[in-house]
Structure 1
Amino acid sequence: MNLLKALATVSSLTLVSRILAFARDILMARIFGAGMANDAYIIATRLPNLLRRMLAEGAFSQAFVPIFGEYNKRRGHDETKLLVDHVTTMLALALFAVTLIGIIAAPLLIYITAPGFIKDAGKFDLTVQMLRITSPYIFFISLVALAAGILNTYNKFWVPAFAPILLNICLIGGALWLAPRFDQPIVGMAWAWFVAGFVQLAFQVPFLKKIGMLPDIRFNLKDEGMWRVIRQMGPALFGVSVAQISLIINTIFASFLVAGSVSWLYYADRLMEFPSGLLGAALGTILLPSLSKHHADNSTEEYSKLLDWGLRLVFMLTLPAALALGMIAVPLLATFFQHGAFVAGDVLKTSYALVGYSVGLIGLIAVKVLAPGFYARQDIRTPVKIGIATLLATQLMNLLFVFGMQLHHAGLALAIGLGACFNSTVLFYFLRKHGIYQPEPGWGKFFLKLCVALLALGLTLWFGMGSEQHWLTTHGWTRIIHLAWLVAAGVAVYFAVLFALGFRLKDFAKRGAS
């Protein structure tokens, strides 16, 4: 399996999903702006999404995939299928309970996670109503993540990567068709999330059946593999989800700031998810199964080389993205979101958060390579300890930036970014200390060439972007065309300089474990 080809496939489908997500957010910004209703919607959908990331894409995938890969490599199809049956049954029961709690305890959950909403009864009640509608999404999407782990281990990377496209199609349909049919249009968007969860799960069922891994309902408390997964989940839940826990705490902080703060952070986060999804999530998706297979084969040298390959891609592709997001934050936000109720002031406020987030982009994406370096080896304790330290450091920075330096919502974004850099740095240190990762030769020259290309990119963007006022006052195709050629010029200059300095695509080709 050519991992570069797999990365390109996953990234391409993620790009389509992100484009649709931007279309969705543009519709949301145009229809709902950054006011009370949209704040309520963001909180109501953020909670299920956070639980989905923590339970499914975070703790569950990191705990399940390495053990599933080991079974698939060493124990044969029948034992592997039994593991899938027992884990799926146990997971479905747990998810049903979590969903029920989300519906029943919705007022308490909003009270805890967005206490600032209590002073506005209408806002609080609307958020509770939508959380009850979106809670079943946790059930559907967690099973989607389980299916994705199975399919990725079988190198069927495109199927899970296509599922988010269905999510965004459902949400766009919700904005255009469902929302106008409700007395409170924003409630239609909550129902769109419910539909999207079911559609994504149904899409993956035929592919699971084709590889003989469609789960049957079987309950066996004596399954040793299932208990191994469960034992891994507790620590993994915390260790992988530090950024998500920080995001929950940030939501609490933001709920006390001026109206619109939650929305400004949300739209900045949406732009950050573009590069982090294209590269970070895609790398994590293909690396974890391959690393798990190398570990099962005791291929320590190939294990280290695979980590090195991932880190080089992270630096080569993330640093220019971070630089661009910081430099052209206003052009990006004005072009995508300055429509209807989302005005120039919202663009500027959101740009402050985006600059803060961009500082930590390299850390956010590097974690997607470094954390699997531990979890593929079924080492949970080390990332958990690092996660605790990261969480404490992030909250100390929140207090400093928000209350000490009065950076307000931008301080929350900066703390998340710097916290991710701290997390990735310490993960890297322990991978080296434990002898898991040995850097390949040539990193010094590699960084020097990157610096030259980044300088060229920065100059291109600086001279090409013009003034912020230009972006805030022009409209329509003028902004779109200017942004398109600015981004195209930056990309062309960056990669042209890298090519001139000797970078070639074939140098990054990498074959994964079979």
Structure 2
Amino acid sequence: MSLFKSASLVSLLTLASRITGLVRELLIAATFGASALTDAFNVAFRIPNLLRRLFAEGAFSQAFVPVLAATREKDGEAATRELINQVATVLAWALTLTCILGVLAAPALVWAMAAGLQQNPQGFDAAVVLTRWMFPYIGFMSLVALAAGVLNTWRRFAVPAATPVLLNVAMIGAAWWGAPWFAARGWEPIYALAGGVMLGGLLQLGVQLPALARLGLLPRIGLTGSALRAAWRHPGTQRILTLMLPALLGVSVAQISLLINTQIASHLATGSVSWLTYADRLMEFPTALLGVALGVVLLPQLSAARAADDGQRYSDLLDWGLRLVVLLAIPCAVALLTFAQPLVAVLYHYGAFTAADVRQTSLALMGYGVGLLGLIAVKVLAPGFYAQQDIRTPVKIAVAVLVFTQCMNLLLVPHLAHAGLALAIGLGALLNAGWLLVGLVRRGAYRPSPGWARFGLQVLAASALLAVFLLWSSAQVDWVHAVQAGRRVLSLALIVAGAVVVYFGVLMLAGVQLRQFVRK
């Protein structure tokens, strides 16, 4: 399968995950509303999710995949299977201990995450119970991360990309059928969601195990103390642990930034946190569909090229990924900057979501749009360092960008309020991507292929005409006041279709050969 087809497959499955996730949130809101118990569930669910982002999908994946790909390239299949077995043994023991401690320490964890729940004893107690039920979810997701790393290295991208849908489906089922079933038996319906989370984790792991078995890579976990000691001393395990430490710091930086921005937004006008959240969910669609897909596909390929000391293929892979980012991210950014209000109105302007909310969310979305190219490019550039087993450099850059972003907040928030927070994130993302790019070029790891100037001008010309088309189209419809919901949706669909024709039509007339992106 070509890299383009692989990235397209991951992108399509990620879209399915985002759509089912939106359905999940809408159904939970409709079923449970907003109460002390829903706050308790959200806090309890956030605890294993935070650990998942820090360890499973973050630090562990960034450290494991490059070492796995390098071992496969240099030492062969037998050594790779041995590495998988040893890492799985250490991981299983660590997860067992972590889950036991998490269940026992649930009251302290809930207090650390949301001490304010103590104002409502029912909510605090429910959060503790839900945390205890859902904490083992981090165990499932860490093993899922291990399996996904193996499958992605063997270029089996479909199963890992599809598994997040299973969590959403399980939680939809818990809200739709489980909650009434609990209520009929006199049990608190919110606890059904905890069952949905655990079922979703079990399903995600369950579908990956047969895929590993078909490759002959199902891990063998050592259950004795001697097996654990041998696994701990394995050079591959030690290398992964060494790489995880800076990776953990890097992932923590992003979470710290999120916490700081949420804290600042909470001191602004009422609704600021929600406006940023709604805009962020819209912005995540292009970043996930393009950036995450490219990162998943490129990291094992870059790692293999680096392990084989094939500098030309390594550089060509980065060049291909960056050209695809420029081709698709710039028009998306143009759409967020020129067409934000129609997008927000069509998706959110119903019921209690007022015209003022549309305007404020649109401003935040435009702030994010400024840095969309950087947000997506980082997903390609950072794996360029991870593939070299260099995690420290991206982490140092991330820390510097965090400081820069907070300085921008000091300058922008007094004038732009919540939109200043979004703009600061966008500017920080551009700085992050630019810094990573310069670093790869300076060390000679990335050598841009000929034709970038011509390609850049072609994309800018097509994007300029796209901006004109979207500005004109936006002015033809009163998206907020006069248009019924059905007409808004139809108008948006027609304009998006027209925008695609305008953009890619201009590119082809300008001589861009789109087939160049479909490469092996």
Aligned to 1:462: 471
Q: What are the equivalent positions in structure 2 for 1:311-350 lying under 5 Å apart?
A: 311-350=322-361
- Over 3 Å counting, the alpha-carbon distance change for 1:24 and 1:336 in structure 2 is farther
Report the Cα distance in structure 1 between the residues aligned to 2:31 and 2:271, rounded to whole angstroms: 15
Q: Please point out which of 385, 400, 419 is paired with 2:396.
A: 385
Cα distance, 1:406 vs structure 2: 5.9
Which deviates the most, 42-51 or 217-226? 42-51
Q: Please point out which of 498, 502, 515 is paired with 1:489.
A: 498
Higher RCO by CA contacts (8 Å cutoff, separation 6 or greater): 1
Q: What CA deviation, in whole Å up to 9, does each residue of 1:114-143 have, x standing for no partner?
A: 567677777666655554444332221121
Contact 2:335 2:470 in 1 (8 A): yes
2:289 is the counterpart of 1:278: yes
- Over 3 Å counting, the alpha-carbon distance change for 1:276 and 1:91 in structure 2 is same
Report the Cα distance in structure 1 between the residues aligned to 2:131 and 2:269, rounded to whole angstroms: 22
Q: What CA deviation, in whole Å up to 9, does each residue of 1:317-347 have, x standing for no partner?
A: 1111122123333322332233445454444
Q: Secondary structure at the match of 2:297?
A: helix
Which deviates the most, 71-80 or 240-249? 240-249
Q: What are the equivalent positions in structure 2 for 1:255-274 lying under 5 Å apart?
A: 255-256=266-267, 260-274=271-285
Cα distance, 1:377 vs structure 2: 0.8
Q: What amino acid does structure 1 have at the position aligned with 2:349?
A: Q
Cα distance, 1:48 vs structure 2: 3.0
Q: What are the equivalent positions in structure 2 for 1:64-463 lying under 5 Å apart?
A: 64-106=64-106, 108-109=108-109, 111-113=111-113, 130-180=130-180, 181=182, 188-218=192-222, 219=228, 220=230, 221-240=232-251, 242-256=253-267, 260-402=271-413, 404-405=414-415, 407-408=417-418, 410-463=419-472
Q: What CA deviation, in whole Å up to 9, does each residue of 1:167-194 have, x standing for no partner?
A: 2222332332334545765554444223
Report the Cα distance in structure 2 between the residues aligned to 1:355 and 1:169, rounded to whole angstroms: 32
Which deviates the most, 225-234 or 411-420? 411-420
Contact 2:74 2:308 in 1 (8 A): no
Cα distance, 1:36 vs structure 2: 7.1
Q: Secondary structure at the match of 2:233?
A: coil
- Over 3 Å counting, the alpha-carbon distance change for 1:125 and 1:102 in structure 2 is same
Which deviates the most, 381-390 or 19-28? 19-28
Aligned to 2:13: 13
Contact 1:113 1:252 in 2 (8 A): no
- Over 3 Å counting, the alpha-carbon distance change for 1:115 and 1:331 in structure 2 is farther
Report the Cα distance in structure 2 between the residues aligned to 1:38 and 1:469, rounded to whole angstroms: 36
Contact 1:70 1:293 in 2 (8 A): yes
Contact 2:287 2:372 in 1 (8 A): yes
Contact 1:116 1:256 in 2 (8 A): no
Q: What amino acid does structure 1 have at the position aligned with 2:197?
A: W
Cα distance, 1:79 vs structure 2: 2.0
Contact 1:174 1:189 in 2 (8 A): yes
Report the Cα distance in structure 2 between the residues aligned to 1:345 and 1:120, rounded to whole angstroms: 32
Contact 1:73 1:293 in 2 (8 A): yes
2:48 is the counterpart of 1:48: yes
- Over 3 Å counting, the alpha-carbon distance change for 1:115 and 1:414 in structure 2 is farther
Q: What CA deviation, in whole Å up to 9, does each residue of 1:439-463 have, x standing for no partner?
A: 1111111111111111121122112
Cα distance, 1:495 vs structure 2: 1.1
Aligned to 2:24: 24
Report the Cα distance in structure 2 between the residues aligned to 1:329 and 1:29, rounded to whole angstroms: 25
Report the Cα distance in structure 2 between the residues aligned to 1:430 and 1:34, rounded to whole angstroms: 47
Runs of at least 5 residues in structure 1 that lack an aligned partner in the other structure:
none
Aligned to 2:61: 61
Contact 1:52 1:142 in 2 (8 A): yes
Q: What amino acid does structure 1 have at the position aligned with 2:147?
A: A
- Over 3 Å counting, the alpha-carbon distance change for 1:128 and 1:413 in structure 2 is farther
| TM-score (normalizing by structure 2) | 0.89
Report the Cα distance in structure 2 between the residues aligned to 1:123 and 1:355, rounded to whole angstroms: 37
Report the Cα distance in structure 1 between the residues aligned to 2:108 and 2:270, rounded to whole angstroms: 22
Q: Secondary structure at the match of 1:464?
A: helix
Cα distance, 1:111 vs structure 2: 4.9
Q: What amino acid does structure 1 have at the position aligned with 2:505?
A: A
Q: What amino acid does structure 1 have at the position aligned with 2:292?
A: A
Contact 2:157 2:297 in 1 (8 A): yes
Q: Secondary structure at the match of 1:405?
A: helix
Report the Cα distance in structure 2 between the residues aligned to 1:145 and 1:279, rounded to whole angstroms: 20
Which of the pair has more CA radius of gyration?
2
Q: What amino acid does structure 1 have at the position aligned with 2:199?
A: V
Q: Identical aligned pairs, as a percentage?
A: 50
Q: What CA deviation, in whole Å up to 9, does each residue of 1:356-392 have, x standing for no partner?
A: 2222221111111111111101112211211221222
Q: What amino acid does structure 1 have at the position aligned with 2:462?
A: A
